Amino acid sequence: MDERNFRSSYYEKVGCYSVEEKKSLNKLLQDNIRNHSKLKQFCLSYTVPTAQRGLLWSIILGVLPLHKNSMDYILEQRTAVYEDLLRAVTMMQYIDQTTPKSRVLQTMWLLENGRLLHPLIGPPEDDNNFMEIVKVLLQIFDNDVETYWIAKEFFACTKEVENECEKLKELTQTLLMREDIELNNHLEKLGVFNPGEILEKWYVTCFAGVITDTALVKIWDKICGGSRKIVVFVFLELVKTLRKLILVCNSTVGIKNLIEQDSTIVNKAIKTWQSNKNHNEITVH
C-alpha cells in the first residue's frame, strides 16, 4: 500500500494518474445512476484528471443529474437559461463585445439573482467573490455554459465555508499553536485572524487569485468533495513555508504580498490534510 501511495503521489506530480484510479472514475461516471457519495469520495481521495474534472464537478455540484439518461435534457435546459441571460444583459446594454468574459458572467449572475437592477440586495462582497471564482474557472474550462453553472454552484459552496469561517479560523489557530506558537502570536498581533482581514477573504474565496489556477484546482477538488477544512491546511503550509519572512513582516499587506503562487505548497497542504487522520474530528471550544 505504501509503495502504491508513493507511485500515485509521484504520478500526480508529473500529471499522470494510475490506471486503477482512471478505471474507477470511468466506471463511476458510466453508471446509469451515479453514486453521489462515491463521486465525492473520489474527489477527496485523488486529484481529478483534467479531462474529467468538468463532468465530475458538474455532477457533484448538481449542475448535471445523477441519472445518466437525463443528461442531455438537463444540459439543454442549462444552456437555454444561459442563452436567455446572455441575451437579456446584451439587450439591456450592460455588456457588449468588448466586455471581459468574467464581467459578462458576473452580470448574468447578478441578473439571475435579482441584483442587477437592485444592487443593494445581498452583501456587496459577494460580487467580488463570485468574480474571483469565475476568473479561475475561465482558465480551467473551455465551455462558457459549463463555466457559468459551475461558478454558480461552487459559489454556493464558498457560502458554506463563509458560514463556518469563525470555526475554521479557530481551528487554524488551534493547529498553529500546537506547531509554532511564535508564528501564531505574530499573525495574531498583526490582526490576520480578525474579521474582514486577509485570512477570512482567502477562506471565503477558497484562495481564488492567491494560488495559481493549476494548483488551486487540486484544492477545489477537495472542496467539491465536501471538505471545508482543507483551506486551513493550505493556509498553514503557506505561513510555515514563508515563516522567516512573515516573522519580520509588520503588516497584513506585507504578508499578502509575500504569498507566492507556488504549487508545491498545495501538494504539501493536501499531503498534510490527508495524513492528519483526526482533522475531521477536531472540535473547537
Q: For residue range 84-114, list pLDDT tens digits in order.
A: 999 999 999 999 999 999 999 999 999 999 8
Q: In this structure, what C-alpha cell is assigned to residue 78?
A: 442549462
Domains of the chain: 22-73 (1.10.10.750), 76-278 (1.10.472.80)
**Closest by alpha carbon to 192, among 222, 172, 209?**
172
State how far the Cα of 284 lies from the Cα of 128, in Å rounded to an integer. Answer: 30
Which stretches of the chain are DSSP H helices?
2-13, 19-30, 36-45, 50-61, 71-91, 101-112, 125-140, 144-163, 165-179, 181-190, 198-204, 213-224, 230-241, 243-247, 252-258, 263-275
Which residue type sits at 188? E
pTM here is 0.85
The pLDDT assigned to 213 comes to 86
User: Which position has the higher pLDDT, 55 or 262?
Assistant: 55
> 519580520: which residue's cell?
248
Question: pLDDT tens digit string along 234-271?
Answer: 999 989 988 998 999 888 888 888 775 455 677 777 77
- Residue 27: other Cβ atoms inside 10 A: 10
Residues 6+ apart with CB under 8 A from 48: 25, 42, 56, 57, 217, 221
